[in-house]
A = this chain, B = another copy of it.
Amino acid sequence: MESSKRVLISECELFIGKEVVLKGWVKKIRQLGKVGFLLLRDRTGLLQCVLEQEQNQVKIETESVVQVTGILVKTDKTANGVELQVSEILVLAEADLLPFEINKKKLNVGLDHLLNHRVLSLRHEQINAIFTIQSMFVKGFTDFLMQEGFTRIFTPKIVSQGAEGGANVFTFNYFDKSAYLAQSPQFYKQMMVGAGFERVFEIAPVYRAEEHNSSRHLNEYISLDVEIGFIENVEEVMEMEERVLQYVFQYVKEHCQKQLDELQVDIPVWNEIPKMTLAEAQAILKEIYQKDSPEGDLNTEGEKCIGNYVKDKYGSDFVFITNYPRATRPMYTMPNKENPELTDSFDLLYKGSEITSGGQRIHRKGELIASFQEKGLNPNEFKAYIDSFAYAIPPHGGFGIGLERIMMKFLNLGNIREASAFPRDCDRLIP
């Protein structure tokens, strides 16, 4: 039976009474007395395999890869009502001694150890579920935006001009030039709006050379970036983000109920995300929580309190914080018409943690140059970006969502590293 077509565990109920070939990993094996039990795991689920006679003599280590042939029979002893009476078992790849037991419901293993042995730890149902959900989350994001007329773009991560923040970049020699890794696709997504695509999105890594390790920062992460041309105002940008998220969470629920159950998580449901200005949020922090905020921003503690506040007051996991001052927003941010000290910008908090920055951008070249100069930046260092506004770019705005950050909050993970298959922090480059 070596080359018969493999049946997936999720399909087994359709083959009761039939001889089938299954392939997967040995999650557990008990070979006691006359009968042995092998719990087989493939990407679709678990199946009990019954070993008798010589099949019960085969020596197999847990987590080895096997091919089992046998007849599927009905049983009332397993959850899916079926088990395999094994007639042949082949070991396709043997596992060595494992660094920790992976077949427990709850792993009692430190995060570093899990990350060091990532291929093993990712096999645990609760860890595996994170990345299955992540994959569907990104699929939902893609599907929604393309239905809405967005074009998926690919922009360079090797760049030379105009680091947004100026610091926190990884630099390297690019042939005879100096280059760095892009902190965001900000300039390029704006340029692609202006290039006639109007509505664009990108799903790609971004890089921040931040020297501190924290439980909510990575040095390389995936940014879900959206930019929308021909907007009337920044509210349209927030509305689009709200619609994207509604769709994506619903999509995950439809495709990953098993994984959500595994993680004991449900999707957030809301009617309309509440909005408050930064000034209002800071006043709430002062009055209700006796907390001072940094000039023109919220700190981690403040985000957490505001998260609790909107949860109590509006039952919402989300809140838009709007109208950040010009002093704390990037030079391309559109000033507010009524109060030009403020901007048409926003952050989105989810469960008390920032997952998005967004806003309307300046789209006229003269205003853009003036804004760079007001920030003390030399427009010549951003020439390629600024020059593109000479070809006329429509009013536009957008946002970026940190994929690992939103997954961490959604799935109630304690550390953002849990939301990255192979996280990169100041210390970790391996595996």
Residues of A within 8 A of B (CB): 3, 6, 8, 23, 25, 41-44, 61, 63-65, 92-96, 98, 117-120, 122-123, 128, 131-132, 134-135, 138-139, 142, 146, 149, 151-161, 170-175, 177, 179, 188, 191-192, 194-199, 203-205, 207, 209, 211, 219-220, 222, 230, 232, 363-365, 384-385, 387-395, 403, 420-424, 426-427, 429-431
| 15 pairs from A and B in contact (CB 8 Å cutoff) | A25-B392, A43-B196, A94-B364, A117-B391, A119-B194, A122-B192, A128-B195, A131-B151, A131-B153, A156-B205, A158-B207, A172-B172, A188-B421, A192-B421, A205-B205
Q: Quick one: which of A8, A44, A132, A394 has the most chain B CB within 10 A?
A: A394
Chain B residue at minimum C-beta to C-beta distance from A193: B119
Task: Report the bound CA distance from A65 to B194 in whole Å.
Answer: 10
Copies in the complex: 2
Chain B residue at minimum C-beta to C-beta distance from A94: B392
Task: Report the bound CA distance from A44 to B96 in whole Å.
Answer: 58
Task: Report the bound CA distance from A161 to B431 in whole Å.
Answer: 8
A132 near B160: Cβ-Cβ < 8 Å: no
A156 near B65: Cβ-Cβ < 8 Å: no
A196 near B158: Cβ-Cβ < 8 Å: no
A384 near B196: Cβ-Cβ < 8 Å: no
Q: A122-B195, A170-B174, A194-B119 are in contact. Are A157 and B393 (CB under 8 A)?
A: no
B430 near A394: Cβ-Cβ < 8 Å: no
B63 near A391: Cβ-Cβ < 8 Å: yes
Q: Provide the residues of chain B in CB contact with A134, threshold 8 Å.
A: 152, 154
A430 near B161: Cβ-Cβ < 8 Å: yes
Task: Report the bound CA distance from A209 to B420 in whole Å.
Answer: 27
Chain B residue at minimum C-beta to C-beta distance from A150: B135
B135 near A151: Cβ-Cβ < 8 Å: yes
